[in-house]
Amino acid sequence: MRDSFHVMRTGRPPKKADLSEHKIGMSFKVDPRLKNLLLEISEGYDVTITELLLMMTLKEAGLESLDDFGSEE
């Protein structure tokens, strides 16, 4: 399992998103097996990969929606 989460920490550190923007783009490289797995799961729920990632993130954070997250930062 460790190999799945191994990332090289090179380059610049991540930058927080500008909260004044309505939407932002996000791009990152993943193992092709992970992408295919996410695609299979999202198809099973009849949602997009983006919607699946949002649902998984909200569940992990114990939130019902992004509105519950607030803007304390």
- Write the pLDDT tens digit of every residue in 5-39: 666 667 788 889 999 999 998 888 899 999 999 99
- 0.85 surpassed by pTM: no
Lookup result for tokens 């097996």:
33
Q: Is the pLDDT of residue 57 over 90?
A: yes
pLDDT at residue 4, rounded to an integer: 60
Q: Comparing 48 with 12, which gets the higher pLDDT?
A: 48
All structural domains of the chain with their residue ranges: 31-59
List C-alpha distances in Å: 45 to 26, 55, 65. 23, 11, 18
Q: Is the pLDDT of residue 50 over 50?
A: yes
